Amino acid sequence: MENSAKYRGCIKVLNGKLYLPILISMILTAFLYSGAYAFEITISPNGKNDLEALPAALLKGAEEAFKVNKLGLDALDAGNLDSAMACFSRASSMLPIYSEAENNKAVVHFRRGNVSVAKM
């Protein structure tokens, strides 16, 4: 059976399973423990737990952030900098480790002439 892998940002999906690089996993773990997300993992008496569903939930959240970022790119292409910035900010808040959204915010600052802010 052939291994099929696809990448979405820094997230790798191999044969339907989610793999995150170790550094990203550590950052994500620190973020989750910081209380930014409120969710609960339960362990049932039969030994199964919600950890099996966690990668799918994280992937779904990442995909939503990708969609919002895409809306921002469409707004940027149309020249609507305010809408683009709102979308990029939303995508960044949905997935704080999403560097592409942060980079796109810098592009908006650059196009507005705020070069010093864009370099930060």
Per-residue model confidence as pLDDT tens digits over 14-32: 555 555 455 556 565 655 5
Domain residue ranges of the chain, discontinuous segments joined by +: 5-118
The domain 5-118 is placed in CATH, from the list 1.25.40, 2.30.30, 1.10.10, 2.30.29, at: 1.25.40
Confidence of residue 41 (pLDDT cuts 50, 70, 90): very low
User: Buried (b) or exposed (e) across 41-75, using 16+ Cβ within 10 A?
Assistant: eeeeeeeeeeeeeeeeebeeebeebbebbebbbeb
Segment 97-111, tens digit of pLDDT: 888 998 999 999 999
pLDDT at 82: 96
Confidence of residue 115 (pLDDT cuts 50, 70, 90): confident
d(CA 75, CA 119): 22
Question: Encoding tokens for residue 78?
Answer: 């149309």
d(CA 44, CA 89): 38
